[in-house]
Every structure is written in structure tokens, then in C-alpha cells.
């Protein structure tokens, strides 16, 4: 089972680049999300509606989702490999492919690009609302573009590099565990009245899980910036200056690189659920942001993803060599 993971990683990455995420294909993250919603309702009913009760409920949610999120794929995959190596490899490759989001991220952001290119601001607002959590109804064309570029930058880590990293370290079970943590944070990790206490442990665990991948992603993106067409030197400068200009210790890592490589300014104040959140800016406004920056951000995404796949395949081979010597 362990020795085939490197092939599952490579094949899964290639399939993602070719196929993406068809809407008709049921995605495991939806199942994880349904499990989170089900457990949230049950735990809130069982435990008291107090700050301490909500924190306890949130802790149980994290424990249960992590146990099921990593445990069930491990058991199913182990059984598949026991039946036949080819079946196990096929399943591991398929799940790896499903958990990567390079092509789908590009496709969704390019829908925003095409709407802006055609001058359809209303359509662009709707398209970007599908990939961001902020309020989009009143965004200007510049605001829509910034939101799309920021999403590509942040999800280069969350949706591509981090999954590849955990796939290389522990195969599909660890990959599923990471996606379970990431999904919990996206669903309950908000600092509002409803989730401030309930989602505290999920948000903190997500910060821990993304700490290394976010920084690896930033350096991969810096390397990709030097590959031609982008300002790698400026990307390094803005990375070191602005990489903590975010409430999350991880989100600004890749956003800072993206802003520096493109010589644009990202982040700043944004509306979420009807409430204005004041946030620092990332990068310098050396030039006005334009919808072409969405296409440029995807170029950096793909270059970084390719570098990451190569790096993590080599990492997996190194892990296999160490295991073989033991």
C-alpha cells in the first residue's frame, strides 16, 4: 500500500489537470460537509448553550470528524489493496485526484475573468460569489478582480499544495484527514456570534495543519515567479514584509507572494455577512489591478502546482527509501 502512493500522487495530479471537478461527480468533501452539519446539530442539542458548552461541542466535533475523516478512507483503501493491488492503486489515485483543485480553481476564477472581459459586472459578482466567502453584491470590477486573485493565491495552498504535501506524507488517509480539518474550518471556523466558541478548536487545528504547507506554497510560488514573466525579487520582498497581514497566520503567505509577483495590492477591508471587517492591505499598488491579473494568477498557480507535485513525489520516494532501509 505504501509503495504505490507515489504513483497515485503523480497520476492523481495529472488527472486533476486534465479533468478537473465535474459537477455531476459526487465529491467526498460534500460527504464530510454533511457529516459536519449533522454532528453540529446533534452536539448543540446535547450540550448546553453556553460558551463552555459550545467549546466542548466544538471539541467533540473535531475529534469525531478527524476520526471518521481519516479512519474510514484508511479502512476502505486497506481493504481494496487486500483484494488486488490494481484496485487499491486505482482507488488511491481516484481519491487523490478528487481532493486536488488546480483545474477547478482555474476554471471557476476564469469564469470571473470572462464576465469582466465582457463588461458584465453583475455576472462577475455572481461568478466570484461562488468561490469567496465575502459579500459580493456591491463589489466594483476592481473588488471582484481582487477577490478572485486572492482566492487563487490562498487556494494554491489549501486546494493544491497542502493536499499534495499530506498525500506525500501519509497517503490518502492523511490527505482525507487534512481535507476534513480544512472543511470544518470553512464551515464553522468563523469569529461571529454563532461560531466564536463552537468553531474555536476547528479554526486552531486548521491553522496548525496549514502552517507548513502555506509556507512551502509561498516558496514554491516564489520559485514559479522566477520562471519568467513575473517579478520574483519583488515577490520575495513583499512576502517578508506582508506575510502576516491577515488574521490567519497562513492566508497571507501566498497572497503576499502573489501581490509582489504581480505588483498589485490585495486584501484590505471587506464585507462578510453584512458586517464590515477592517483588514490590512497586502502588497503595493504599483499599478491598478486589472482582470488580466486573474489569468496571471492562474499561471502562477499551475507553475507552483507542477513544482509542488515534483517536490512531493521526490519526498514520497525518500520516505519509501527510509522505510526500505528499516
d(CA 115, CA 97): 28
- What CA–CA distance (Å, rounded) separates 131 from 221? 21
Query: Positive or negative CA dihedral for 181, 272, 290, 253?
Result: negative
* Mean pLDDT per 10-residue interval, the chain, length 326 residues: 85 94 84 95 93 95 96 95 95 96 94 94 92 82 93 95 96 96 92 89 96 97 92 96 90 94 87 70 92 96 96 88 76
Predicted confidence at residue 132, as pLDDT, reads: 84
Packing angle, helices 141-156 and 251-262, rounded to 10: 120
pLDDT of residue 274: 64
Per-residue CA distances from 220 to 69, 78, 257 (Å):
28, 32, 10
Question: What's the pTM?
Answer: 0.92
Amino acid at each position: 500500500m505504501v509503495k504505490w502512493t507515489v504513483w497515485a500522487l503523480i497520476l492523481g495530479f495529472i488527472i486533476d489537470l486534465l479533468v478537473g471537478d465535474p459537477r455531476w461527480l459526487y465529491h467526498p468533501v460534500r460527504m464530510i460537509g454533511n457529516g459536519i452539519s449533522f454532528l453540529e446539530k446533534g452536539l448543540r442539542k446535547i450540550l448546553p448553550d453556553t460558551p463552555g458548552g459550545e467549546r466542548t461541542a466544538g471539541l467533540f466535533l473535531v475529534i469525531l470528524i478527524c476520526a471518521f475523516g481519516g479512519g474510514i478512507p484508511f479502512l476502505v483503501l486497506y481493504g481494496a489493496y487486500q483484494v488486488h493491488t490494481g484496485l487499491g492503486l486505482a482507488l488511491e489515485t481516484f481519491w487523490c485526484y478528487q481532493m486536488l483543485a488546480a483545474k477547478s480553481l482555474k476554471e471557476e476564477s476564469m469564469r470571473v475573468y470572462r464576465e469582466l472581459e465582457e463588461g458584465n459586472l453583475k455576472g462577475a459578482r455572481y461568478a466570484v460569489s461562488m468561490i469567496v466567502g465575502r459579500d459580493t453584491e456591491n463589489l466594483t470590477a476592481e473588488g471582484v478582480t481582487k477577490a478572485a486573485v486572492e482566492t487563487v493565491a490562498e487556494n494554491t495552498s489549501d486546494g493544491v499544495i497542502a493536499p499534495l504535501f499530506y498525500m506525500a506524507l501519509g497517503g490518502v488517509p492523511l490527505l482525507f484527514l487534512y481535507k476534513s480539518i480544512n472543511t470544518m474550518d470553512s464551515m464553522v471556523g468563523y469569529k461571529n456570534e454563532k461560531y466564536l466558541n463552537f468553531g474555536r478548536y476547528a479554526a486552531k487545528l486548521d491553522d496548525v495543519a496549514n502552517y507548513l504547507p502555506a509556507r512551502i506554497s509561498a516558496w514554491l510560488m516564489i520559485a514559479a515567479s522566477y520562471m519568467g514573466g513575473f517579478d520574483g525579487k519583488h515577490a520575495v520582498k513583499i512576502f517578508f514584509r506582508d506575510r502576516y497581514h491577515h488574521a490567519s497566520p497562513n492566508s497571507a503567505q501566498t497572497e503576499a507572494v502573489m501581490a509582489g509577483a504581480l505588483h498589485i495590492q490585495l486584501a484590505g477591508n471587506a464585507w462578510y455577512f453584512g458586517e464590515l471587517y477592517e483588514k490590512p492591505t497586502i502588497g503595493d499598488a504599483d499599478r491598478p489591478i486589472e482582470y488580466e491579473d486573474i489569468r496571471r494568477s492562474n499561471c502562477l498557480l499551475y507553475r507552483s502546482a507542477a513544482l509542488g507535485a515534483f517536490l512531493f513525489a521526490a519526498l514520497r520516494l525518500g520516505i519509501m527509501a527510509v522505510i526500505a532501509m528499516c
